[in-house]
């Protein structure tokens, strides 16, 4: 796929995938269209050579795999991992706030969000709703208001003359979205508003009343190419939906001769400890079923490799001193191998060597990132997956500016370049370890 078309589809995906639930729904749609078969946890699996499958968990995590025509899954897997969640503001269970004649919603901060960029943005709301149907059953559905229905106004500088010097953002009191101005005698009722939206999107759902929800605000500004030469991609949720999309496209366009797998977990931004997170049983349950036995799993793990794909920190032109002087990845400079001696990243010289080996024929440049010794280092699903499975792992990502902001920035070449290398990796029939 040419870079221009890749980026067009990436921008469409980013705009549709407003929550982890919507990201997985879109991935399911693309996988189904490509002939992948849905599996369930409570059924017997009959894996056929050359066939393609996927499994979801909590509607927010997904595993897709190809049973190779020449090498079955039990002989080893080329694996790619990413995560579907991004820092955001999630609606509280009892969110209604009436203040100064305005209807506001209380929110929780999900993940390590940069809070200042959330002010004065056109916000919408999306997520999953559980409801009781008219026949008394528990059901769920996805909703997305799509339009701007809220904003978080800044405090004017006239009322805070020190705003540009030292304004702290109190996550309890300052980050409270405004939905509307209440009319005389009107009572704020979020569940009534949500019921109306549910019935609008799903007119035949026969909902009796709302039971609960997992909803988050998002910026309505669409993903786009920016810059004088359209050399950048600007969007919400680049971390880490860019990686999910890149891994998905590589898998969809793989040849299928060798067995390959993509896992996209939820809850990475809050530690991955959940039924659908990398610390949960999802991936291991799939691998165990593909291996068939404990002894066979050991062989599968020994002949497999995981590439954990999660955005990397590009060097910021205004804050270059925050990087190690020899490790400042550039936008459009190629994917970034992430290395940490304390195993915050799972990269080894063996796994990074294989990636460089695969990148060379594609003429894709490769960069490296090492955090400064006097700064803390983030982490990914890479070490978690490596520790849980014993599978050798590489941590890599597309260089990004503004990570964890409401709108992030990446290079227009990097994701497409990474996709070509991942596709070559999925097609690679050689050994995944040094010989």
What is the per-residue pLDDT across 399-420, written as a single tens digit (0 to 9) for each?
999 999 999 999 999 999 999 9
Identify whether residues 287 and 421 lie together within a single domain: yes
For residues 394 and 346, is the Cβ–Cβ distance under 8 A? yes
In a domain, 226, yes or no: no
Identify whether residues 110 and 240 lie together within a single domain: no
Assign residue 51 the CATH number of its domain: 3.40.630.10
Identify whether residues 162 and 284 lie together within a single domain: no
Name the pTM for this structure. Answer: 0.96
At 358 the pLDDT is 97
Domain that holds residue 148: 88-219
In a domain, 225, yes or no: no
% pLDDT > 70, the chain: 100
In a domain, 227, yes or no: no
Identify whether residues 172 and 317 lie together within a single domain: no
pLDDT band with cut points at 50, 70 and 90 for residue 121: very high
Identify whether residues 46 and 118 lie together within a single domain: no
At 295 the pLDDT is 82
At 1 the pLDDT is 81
Helix/strand/coil for 423: helix
Assign residue 120 the CATH number of its domain: 2.30.250.10
In a domain, 250, yes or no: yes
Q: Is 100 exposed, middle or buried (0-12, 13-18, 19+ CB in 10 A)?
A: exposed
Identify whether residues 281 and 420 lie together within a single domain: yes
In a domain, 434, yes or no: no
Please check the confidence at residue 116 and state whether its pLDDT lies above 90: yes
What is the per-residue pLDDT across 37-74, written as a single tens digit (0 to 9) for each?
999 989 999 999 999 999 999 999 999 999 999 989 98
Identify whether residues 64 and 159 lie together within a single domain: no
Identify whether residues 107 and 63 lie together within a single domain: no
CA-CA distance, 400 to 313, in Å (whole number)? 5
Residue 298: Cβ within 10 Å count: 12
Identify whether residues 357 and 285 lie together within a single domain: yes
Identify whether residues 20 and 159 lie together within a single domain: no
Residue 323 sits at the vertex; the CA angle it makes with 112 and 10, to the nearest 5 degrees, is: 55
Please check the confidence at residue 364 and state whether its pLDDT lies above 90: yes
Identify whether residues 80 and 44 lie together within a single domain: yes
Domain count, the chain: 2
Domain boundary (193, 219, 245) is at 219
In a domain, 433, yes or no: no
CA-CA distance, 424 to 419, in Å (whole number)? 9
Helix/strand/coil for 257: coil
What is the per-residue pLDDT across 157-196, written as a single tens digit (0 to 9) for each?
999 888 888 888 999 999 999 999 998 888 999 999 999 9
172 Cβ partners below 8 Å, 6+ apart?
A: none
In a domain, 435, yes or no: no
At 186 the pLDDT is 86
Domain boundary (156, 188, 219) is at 219
At 378 the pLDDT is 82
Structure tokens at 18: 């407003």
In a domain, 25, yes or no: yes
320 Cβ partners below 8 Å, 6+ apart?
A: 328
Please check the confidence at residue 294 and state whether its pLDDT lies above 90: no
Identify whether residues 156 and 18 lie together within a single domain: no
Domain boundary (170, 189, 219) is at 219
């Amino acid at each position: 796929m040419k870079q221009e078309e890749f980026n067009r589809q990436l921008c469409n995906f980013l705009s549709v995938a407003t929550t982890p639930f919507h990201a997985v729904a879109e991935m399911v749609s693309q996988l189904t269209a490509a002939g992948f078969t849905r599996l369930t946890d409570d059924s017997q699996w009959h894996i056929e050579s050359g066939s393609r499958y996927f499994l979801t968990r909590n509607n927010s995590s997904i595993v897709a795999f190809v049973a190779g025509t020449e090498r079955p899954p039990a002989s080893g897997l080329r694996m790619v991992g990413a995560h579907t969640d991004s820092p955001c503001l999630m609606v509280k269970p009892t969110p209604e706030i009436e203040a100064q004649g305005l209807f506001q919603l209380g929110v929780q901060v999900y993940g390590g969000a940069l809070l200042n960029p959330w002010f004065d943005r056109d916000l919408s709301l999306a997520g999953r709703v559980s409801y009781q149907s008219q026949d008394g059953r528990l059901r769920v559905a996805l909703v997305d208001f799509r339009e701007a229905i809220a904003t978080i106004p800044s405090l004017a500088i006239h009322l805070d003359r020190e705003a540009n010097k030292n304004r702290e953002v109190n996550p309890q009191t300052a980050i409270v979205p405004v939905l509307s101005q209440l009319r005389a005698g009107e009572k704020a009722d979020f569940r009534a508003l949500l019921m109306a939206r549910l019935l609008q999107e799903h007119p035949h759902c026969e909902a009796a009343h709302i039971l609960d929800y997992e909803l988050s605000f998002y910026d309505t500004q669409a993903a786009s190419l920016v810059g004088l030469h359209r050399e950048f991609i600007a969007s919400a949720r680049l971390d880490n939906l860019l990686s999910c999309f890149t891994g998905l496209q590589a898998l969809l366009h793989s040849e299928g001769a060798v067995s390959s797998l993509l896992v996209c977990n939820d809850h990475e931004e809050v530690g991955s400890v959940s039924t659908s997170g990398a610390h949960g049983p999802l991936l291991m349950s799939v691998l165990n079923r593909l291996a068939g036995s404990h002894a066979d799993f050991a062989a599968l793990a020994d002949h497999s490799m995981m590439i954990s794909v999660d955005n990397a920190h590009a060097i910021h032109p205004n804050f270059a001193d925050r990087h190690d002087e020899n490790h400042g990845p550039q936008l459009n400079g190629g994917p970034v191998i992430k290395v940490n001696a304390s195993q915050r990243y799972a990269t080894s010289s063996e796994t990074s060597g294989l990636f460089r080996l695969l990148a060379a024929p594609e003429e894709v440049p490769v960069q490296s990132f090492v955090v400064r010794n006097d700064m803390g280092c983030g982490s990914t699903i890479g070490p978690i997956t490596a520790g849980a499975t014993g599978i050798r792992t590489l941590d890599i990502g597309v260089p990004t500016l503004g990570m964890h902001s409401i709108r992030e920035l990446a290079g227009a070449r990097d994701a497409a370049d990474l996709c070509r290398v991942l596709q070559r990796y999925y097609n690679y029939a050689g050994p995944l370890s040094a010989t």
